[in-house]
Amino acid sequence: MNNLSSASRKALEAMLKHAKAKKTKVAAEITLEDGKLFYGCNLEAACHTLSICAERAAVVNALIHCGPEFRIKNVWAIAEKNGTPHNIQVCGSCLQLLSEFAAPNLYIQGYSLDVLYPIRYS
């Protein structure tokens, strides 16, 4: 899947309104193998190490609703900085967590996980 659907884009834009960030708001959508969709938004804390990325928030959302056996087949994220849309890359921490719940052919922003994160912790 190389393109974000218009329905997903609208859902992610709505999710941006929930993000708690001073400058850059991020929303993420994960699609599970069974077709279920889960969303997350970023939360910036005063102590940066306590912040959470939108992608990880979406994974926690899926974990709460599905338990630990779900597998992710697709991830999309959008960002808005100072009210302007921006492209975004998934960070290394998110790539690692996503890899731990990955379906065999996980795609992130239209790219294979194997291309984005070829060597993972196990």
The pLDDT of residue 80 is 95
Extract the tokens encoding 44: 């910036």
Q: How far is CA 31 from CA 19, 21, 100, 119, 121, in A?
A: 20, 24, 15, 23, 23
- Give, rounded to a whole angstrom, the gap between the first and last alpha carbons of the chain: 26
Q: Is residue 35 part of a domain?
A: yes
Extract the tokens encoding 72: 């992710």
Q: Is residue 100 part of a domain?
A: yes
Range of the domain at 10: 6-116
Q: How many domains does the chain have?
A: 1
Instruction: Determine the Cα–Cα distance for residues 11 and 5; give it in Å rounded to an integer.
Output: 10
The pLDDT of residue 86 is 87
Q: Report the CATH number that the domain containing residue 80 is assigned in CATH.
A: 3.40.140.10
Q: Is residue 29 part of a domain?
A: yes
From the candidates 55, 69, 80, 100, which is the catalytic residue? Answer: 55
The pLDDT of residue 17 is 92
Residues 12-64 pLDDT 10s: 999 999 999 988 999 999 999 999 999 999 999 988 889 999 999 999 999 99
Query: Active-site residue 69, yes or no?
Result: no
Residues 66-88 pLDDT 10s: 999 999 999 999 999 988 988 89
Q: Is residue 27 part of a domain?
A: yes
Q: Is residue 85 part of a domain?
A: yes
